[in-house]
Chain A
Amino acid sequence: MSFLELKNLSYSITNNDILNDINLNIDKSCFFSILGPSGAGKTTILRIITGALFADKGQVILDGEVINYLPMEKRQIAMVHQSKYLFPHLSVIENIQFGMKMKKFDKDKIIKKTEEIVEFFNMKEHILKYPYQLSGGQQQLVALMRALASEPKVLLLDEPFTGLDNNLKIYIRDYILKLHRQFKITTVMITHDKEDAFFMSDKIAFLFKGKMLLCEEPGKLINSTGIEEVDSFLGQITSLGDGSIVFSDKILKIN
């Protein structure tokens, strides 16, 4: 049985279909990516999963429970936005501990967990700083730390590398993969970047104009999918056979 399931999800604004009959099954501890061009409805899916939006039709099922009308705070789903949305009036450590305090973790656990996460992300020297004193990459890390600290059942990543330069992107991407391996949190990432999706995901779903066109393991997307929109978005992909694939002129080592 899937850990997170979207069943016949539809959402529209003033008669414009933003999402049309979306079905997705995401396994526990899986790193799942929703790939698609801008305006495909990717963020809307995440907003419905978090409870910031209500679907017109369909169900969101988490761990066997329908959570459509469950308040956001009871869903145990944390989201990291592309704009970070750190709390500007709180220091880094206060940002990290916010979720734990809201969930009423005991004091010792809060301290232990904070130390563990700060060490994991190597951010000890920044914990007393405020968000405006951090670089874009550091802010993204703090947003990740904050989400992770609240021990969510599902971690949602909304275009987490937007606005970061390539080196920083690789740095944060590695951290995300490392934390996924260590904490085994079911993670759903939305992105328009096919390289990120291929590099990080156990499974990729392709969303186009509010419709889910396919959901496959990255390895199975290397050859033509037979779906015009997907093939034209992914372009030419060649496997080199050693775990590396070539996107146009860029080689990506998947393993």
Chain B
Amino acid sequence: MKIFNKIIFTLLMIFLLLPLLSMLIWTFFSSWASNDNLPSNLTLKWFIYFVNSGDWLIGVKSVLFSISAAFFSLILSIMLSRFFIKSSFKYKQLESMFYLPMLLPVVSVCIGSHKMLLNILGIKGSIIVLILHIYFSLPYAFKMVYSFYNVWGIEQEQVARGLGANRWKAFYLINVPIYLNGYISSFLMAFIISYSQYFVNFFVGDYNSVNFSMIMTPYITGSDRNIASVYIFLYMLYGIIVMLLCTGIEKMYNNRKRNERI
């Protein structure tokens, strides 16, 4: 059984990493002739281009924008989950409504909200983009947070309040440590959904809403594999940095708590 598990694990790793291999090769090498065993001409010129063109800044802005969208999605998910966990059956039936954005075509939502929010309500394009990012990432964030609430409930918080903690202290001292893993996972999920949005920014946003996916796409469709690989690599790198930061924050929080106890 152990060997079988190892084989499955190895196959999955290959399945996961193989598509990245060619991207990684073309990120750092500019040629690989058919009669060569290994790629040649190690180059960093597209990295230099990325820095000099100022696209790195768009990448940073894109990350910050997605972090804020994920943060709002997380807050809304927590509020929604708490509402559903406390509410009676008739409200619980409405839960599936919040998963609708997973199914709706992005284009129809964009057209509808573009018309309503921009033309009728006069909201600025970049704000609409943020609203739509939250709209599309909320169901994923909510699903994750709500499943945690379904397992743990809010009784521990209520016990804390019975012992004299006010709402905020019960939330901060009891809820957050218990749910931290769920919150971080939910935040990351919302971040990934927002970070990979292309159409919303392209269709609704103004020049302030240009994000990493948008600047990356022309290179990928333009069939220059070197520059496309570099942009994909950096796109992944930015995302991975955010994930590592989140994991770091989680570890730091847990270590701090442990040290406080010691």
Contact = CB atoms under 8 A, between A and B. Distances in A.
Interface residues of B, number: 23
Given A13-B88, A13-B89, A50 B162 contact: yes
Contacts of B169: 102
B61 interface: no
Interface string B136-159: 000000000000000000011011
B165 A102 contact: yes
Nearest to A128: B261
A120 interface: no
B156 A147 contact: no
Contacts of B246: none
A50 B158 contact: yes
A50 to B, nearest CB: 5
A42 interface: no
Interface residues of A, number: 28
Contact of A91 (B158, B167, B261): B261
Contacts of B161: 51, 71-73
Interface string B185-214: 000000000000000000000000000000
Given A50-B158, A52-B158, A83-B155, A89 B163 contact: no
Interface string A79-118: 1010101011101001000110011000000000000000
Contact of B174 (A13, A87, A146, A152): A87
B88 A14 contact: yes
B159 A81 contact: yes
A51 B164 CA distance: 12
Interface in B82-106: 88-90
A78 interface: yes
Nearest to B174: A87
A79 B155 CA distance: 11
A102 B257 contact: no
Contacts of B173: 98
A205 interface: no
Interface string A217-240: 000000000000000000000000
A123 B159 CA distance: 21
Contacts of B257: 89
Contact of B178 (A79, A88, A147, A150): A88
A147 B88 CA distance: 28
Q: Which of B161, B166, B174 lies at the interface centre, i.e. has the most chain A CB atoms within 10 A of its CB?
A: B161
Nearest to A91: B261
A147 B169 CA distance: 17
A55 interface: no
Contacts of B174: 87
Interface in A9-55: 13-14, 50-52
B260 to A, nearest CB: 9
B163 A147 contact: yes
Contacts of A83: 155
Interface in B167-191: 167, 169-170, 173-174, 177-178
A150 B164 contact: yes
Contacts of B261: 91, 94
Contacts of A85: 155-156, 159
B162 A77 contact: yes
Contacts of A88: 178
B162 A72 contact: yes
Nearest to B177: A89
A147 B164 CA distance: 10
A164 B177 CA distance: 28
Contacts of A75: 162
Contacts of A81: 155, 159
7 contacts: A73-B165, A73-B166, A73-B170, A87-B174, A98-B173, A102-B165, A150-B164
Given A50-B162, A52-B158, A87-B159, 8 more contacts: A73-B165, A79-B162, A81-B155, A85-B156, A87-B160, A99-B164, A150-B164, A152-B162
The 7 residue pairs across chains A and B that have the minimum distance between CB atoms: A99-B163, A102-B164, A72-B161, A103-B164, A89-B177, A102-B165, A150-B163
